[in-house]
């Protein structure tokens, strides 16, 4: 519904030298505009809001962190 396949989405968890309970979602986008369009679409989906509410008890408040990286080739 939001074009997640277009973002080269991956879920990653800790393995060696990282916290095993950490779950990271990685999205590869062409531009910040593409990322913003994704957020605008997903915000309108009731199932996503429901998923967030269901996940909320398992997320420690204040531990979420957004980082944006550039690919250097």
Is the separation of the CB atoms in 29 and 35 below 8 Å? yes
Residue 62 tokens, joined: 């204040």
pLDDT at 47: 94
Q: What's the whole-model pTM score?
A: 0.63
- What pLDDT, on a 0 to 100 scale, did the predictor assign at position 9? 83
pLDDT string in tens for the chain (73-residue length): 887 777 888 888 888 888 888 888 888 888 889 889 888 999 999 999 999 899 889 888 888 788 888 888 7
pLDDT at 66: 82
Domain coordinates of the chain in residue numbers? 4-58
pLDDT for res 38 = 87
What is the longest distance spanned by two Cα atoms in the chain? 39
Q: Which letter does DSSP use for residue 15 in this model? A: -
E strand map for 1-73: 10-13, 23-26
Helix ranges, the chain (H): 32-42, 46-55
């Amino acid at each position: 519904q939001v074009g997640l396949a277009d973002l080269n989405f991956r879920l990653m968890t800790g393995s060696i030298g990282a916290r095993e309970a950490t779950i990271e979602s990685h999205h590869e986008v062409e531009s910040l505009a593409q990322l913003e369009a994704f957020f605008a679409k997903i915000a309108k989906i009731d199932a996503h809001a429901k998923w967030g509410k269901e996940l909320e008890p398992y997320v420690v408040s204040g531990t979420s962190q957004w980082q944006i990286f550039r690919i250097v080739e």
